[in-house]
Structure formats: C-alpha cells, structure tokens
Amino acid sequence: MQYEFRIADTNDAPALSKLLRSAMLTYCINSGIRPFMLESMSESLQAIEDRVAHNTCMCYFDGSEAVATITLSLIDTPQKLSFSKKTDKYLSTLNKAGYISRFAVKEELRQAGLGIALMDKALETAKREGCSAVLLHSCASNKPMVEFYSNRGFKLIDKEDSRGYSRGLFSYSLCK
C-alpha cells in the first residue's frame, strides 16, 4: 500500500493525537512504565498544534489517518537538555542539534519501513539545517526502541530517572 508523505499542519492535530496515544500505550508496555508517566499521553490538541506549527512534523498518512510520525526540533543551545556532568560535557561539544520527539508508527505497520524512512528524513533534514548531532530521549528499558535507535547509529550518552523511569539520552552524530 502507498502512503502519502507530507509535513503535518495544525489541522492534523486530531489524527496525530490518536496515533500518538495508541503508539505510546505499546511504548509503555515495552518499557514497563505507566501511561501517566508520559507527557504525550495527556498532551492537548493545542499543544500538538503548537508543536506542529513551530517544528518539522513529518508524517505518513493513509487518507486522513496518520499512520507514522516524527517531529524534529532544531536546538541552538543543546546544553538545555543536560542533566548530569557527563551529559553536560557531551552537549557542550555541540553547536546546534536536532531533537526528535513524538516518534510513532501505527502498530500493525511496524516493520514495514515507515519508521526507518521517517528517521532517515529527520536525519537528512537536521544535517541540511547545519546540526552536528540529533538527540532524542527514550526509556532505556524499552528493548525494541533501544535496538531500533542503536541499529540506526544512535549512541546512549547518559541516563536519568527524574520521571520515575530510566530515561536515556541518545545521540546520532552528523559529523561523520
């Protein structure tokens, strides 16, 4: 089946909300965490509209249904993501970074290549925008996601547990 790729706009917020909530339930199960621990589970439509309006939200659609999404934000001050001396030291080496959030693929379409395609588009966009790395956070105990990121070239930089679970900061170097 062919899916339409496009950059989301604010009118897509309801479709994105539906996809994200569904995908994050699986993420919680695979991570061993409770849904209330993820801000994406209680994100308002207004918050989604704001994220889409101010960042690059890439999606695949089946008609009006969002079936895969990834958001890339550009960060001129990556050190704002620091939570330890180790993280601070790493982030201080970056001038500009991309930050990936709200990455989701409809459950029955996982393993179909949509996630890889979106990740590749996000990395290409970040490189074109002059970023030296792309960062993301993910639950360090979520084996499928950690494996996915590792297979794409992301490295675990550090972990923290301020949200009640082991949350890893992963980085992909664009200076290869």
Q: What is the pLDDT of residue 162?
A: 85
Q: Please report, in tens digits, the pLDDT of each residue of the chain (176 residues total).
A: 689 999 999 999 999 999 999 999 999 988 999 988 888 888 999 999 999 999 999 999 999 999 999 999 999 989 888 888 999 999 999 989 999 999 999 999 998 999 999 999 999 999 999 999 999 999 999 999 999 999 999 999 999 988 888 999 999 999 86
Q: What is the pLDDT of residue 38?
A: 86
State pTM to two decimals: 0.94
Q: What are the structural domains, with CATH classification, of the chain? A: 4-173 (3.40.630.30)
Kindly write down the DSSP assignment for every residue of 34-97, as one continuous string: -GGG-GGGS--HHHHHHHHHHSEEEEEEETTEEEEEEEEEEES-GGGG--SHHHHHHHTT-SSE
Closest by CA to 3, choosing from 58, 51, 71, 73, is 58
* Close Cβ partners of 131 (under 8 Å, ≥ 6 residues apart): 74, 96, 97, 98, 174
